[in-house]
Structure 1
Amino acid sequence: MTSIPASLSHQRIPRSDGRAWQMEIYGTLGSTSDTCKARLDAGKGVDGLAILALSQTAGRGSRGRQWADPGGNLALSVMLVGQGTEVPVGLWPFIAGLAMHDAMADYLPANHALQLKWPNDLLLAGRKMAGILIEAGTCATGARWQVIGMGANLRHAPAIAGRELACLADATPDAPGASDVACAVLRHLDRWLGCYASYGFGAVRAAWLERGHPVGTAVNVTAGNRQFSGTFAGLADDGTLLLQTPHGLCHVVTGEVMVARTG
């Protein structure tokens, strides 16, 4: 197993149920999610552990993409073990997405142009600034685990050919540091987990729709080798994307969505 360097510091972020997120802060890691998984493989999984790297050299995004991190951005993963995995994996993009959205909104003016994009991206003025990677498995002991990886461009948007990216500093001259944003994300994550526990996914779904691309937005969906075009028609009760096409209403379980730019 690859050795993990010593952490720079620890922070305890209280939760509403009396527990706390235990956040370890590192200078540089390959991948915060891989660090969590290495702990799990070694039998050292801790429910509620959060790993923050101030620089990440081998970050991963969805569909096997590299998540470029030039430093000064957010690279945060949360480990959930045993009872902490009671939220179904398929609902995490919405809960984590709301936490990410609301944490970023804390630092932006009231007329910010933040928007969630199904299933796991956050856009700023129509350009991607953050993403979420959900992984799950089972420990050698049989306990289930989930790792929620969250990356956001705070002070720098990497240049990637063919992609338009944004960073928080594009909209505010005083972009916060990664540790401050990580604490905000974890506080909002606790709030939305509490909402889900009290009111179910319906409340989470309604909140996501308030912050997501509006119903009627033109979108293109790539799912495997198939492509669909239509307009966003909302979310089904399980979070499935509803796409209105010329041939009728489609339910999209997984895929990559491209939102049409306007203006």
Structure 2
Amino acid sequence: MTESPDWPAGVARHVLPRIDSTNAEALRLAATLSGPTWIMAREQTAGRGRRGRAWRDPQGNLAATLLIRPTGSPADASLYSFVAALALHEALVATCGPAARVQIKWPNDGLLNGGKVAGILLESAGQGARVTALAIGIGVNLAAAPDPTTLEPGATPPVSVLGETGHAVTADQFLDLLAPAFARWQAQLETWGFAPIRSAWLARAARLGQPVTARTGRDTRHGTFEGIDDSGALILTTPAGRETIPAADIHFHEA
């Protein structure tokens, strides 16, 4: 395949006809890859979302994973989810056009006109406090959205790029936008640290300053979404005061 002239230098690209999970394949191949590599599948049969949920992947959508070898701690590696979110936002804006409303939903979703159009999943391999390989998986509903009845109650309704905008874009075309965008935001993180990434992310965040519900495995918190801290954790103002929540599912309060 001929790569886009904007494809980032030194980054490989593997396109597979069918695979269980691009994240799983990336981690299986990690020991054999000589540098950062995007792995994209035409068909993904066992995609994964957060907390072990299935990621349903209708034909024509994007299923891709970037495998990198970050330096630093697992906490440092987790910041790449915000890099991925910014790259995803940039690629969606370029694809969907100025009339579309593209936002980021903490911690890992892309929204298009209020519906969920994309998700991000980070998985890592390593020993102890060292991450030796990081798989950054991104799924985008380009051609079709999954059946809403297959999702858990309270989930953000799914949408597709084609359904919301009428724009038909292939997975290859979208990856040609996504990979260079990721490289640019990655360079910012690695040069300047998390602060500019955090500011850019907040400028694109959905429901900032509005009421949300944060659900963890044990607790439910209702409050106002105030932003994210220097580690990427959610800042929520509740009746009990200001709380920092490192991991949760966020549900919006609909009018």
User: TM-score surpassing 0.5?
Assistant: yes
Q: Unmatched 5+ residue regions in structure 1? A: 1-8
Q: CA deviation at 1:170?
A: 2.2
For residue 59 of structure 1, the aligned residue among 27, 47, 54 is: 47
Relative to structure 1, is the Cα distance of residues 246 and 83 closer, same or farther in structure 2, using a 3 angstrom cutoff?
A: closer
Distance 1:204 1:238 in 2: 11
Match of 1:77 in 2: 65
Measured against aligned partners, the alpha-carbon deviations of 1:81-120 in whole angstroms (never above 9, x if no partner) come to 3659999222111110000111011012213211101111
2:233 paired residue among 221, 236, 240: 240
Distance 1:171 1:88 in 2: 35
Tell me how far apart the structure 2 counterparts of residues 258 and 20 of structure 1 sit (CA, whole Å).
Answer: 39
Higher strand share: 1
Q: CA deviation at 1:20?
A: 2.4
Structure 2 SS opposite 1:191: helix
Q: Is the 8 A contact 1:107 1:175 kept in 2?
A: no
Please report the RMSD computed on the Cα atoms of aligned residues, expressed in angstroms: 2.2
Would you say the 8 A contact 1:14–1:20 is kept in 2? Answer: no
2:171 maps to what in 1? 178
1:130-150 deviation line (CA, Å, top 9, x unaligned): 1111011128xx871111111
Distance in 2, Cα, partners of 1:143 & 1:258: 31
* TM superposition shift of 1:240: 1.2
Give the drift of 1:70.
1.5
Whole-angstrom distance in 2 between the partners of 1:47 and 1:254: 30
What residue is the counterpart of 1:112 in the other structure? 100
> Which residue identity lines up with residue 110 of structure 2 in the other structure?
L
One-letter code aligned to 1:234: G
5+ residue gaps, structure 2, are none
- Given residue 27 of structure 1, which amino acid in structure 2 is its aligned partner? P
Secondary structure of 1:250's aligned partner: strand
**Cα distance in 2, alignment partners of residues 213 and 122 from structure 1:** 9
Rate the CA distance shift 1:85–1:185 in 2: closer, same or farther, 3 A: farther
Counterpart selection for 1:48 from 36, 39, 47: 36
Q: How far 1:44 moved relative to its partner?
A: 1.2
d(CA) in 2 for partners of 1:84 and 1:22? 23
Query: 1:7-47 deviations in whole A, cap 9, x for unaligned?
Result: xx5747643xxx3221111222111111112213xx31332
Aligned residues: 247
Match of 1:5 in 2: none
Distance 1:258 1:94, change over 3 A: same
**Pairing 1:210–2:203 present:** yes
TM-score (structure 1 length as normaliser): 0.87
Distance change in 2, residues 1:89/1:173 (3 Å): same
143 and 257 in structure 1: CA distance in 2 versus 1, 3 angstrom threshold: closer
Is the partner of 1:55 in helix, strand or coil?
A: coil
Contact 2:213 2:250 in 1 (8 A): yes
Instruction: Indicate if the aligned counterparts of 1:11 and 1:22 stay in contact, CA closer than 8 A.
Output: no
> For residues 88-127 of structure 1, what are the structure 2 equivalents within 5 Å?
88-127=76-115
Tell me, in whole angstroms, the C-alpha distance in 1 between the residues paired with 2:54 and 2:74. Answer: 29
The correspondence of residues 126-141 of structure 1 with structure 2, limited to 5 A, is 126-138=114-126
Q: What amino acid is aligned across from residue 93 of structure 2 in structure 1?
A: A
What does 1:16-31 align with in structure 2 at a 5 Å threshold?
A: 19-31=9-21
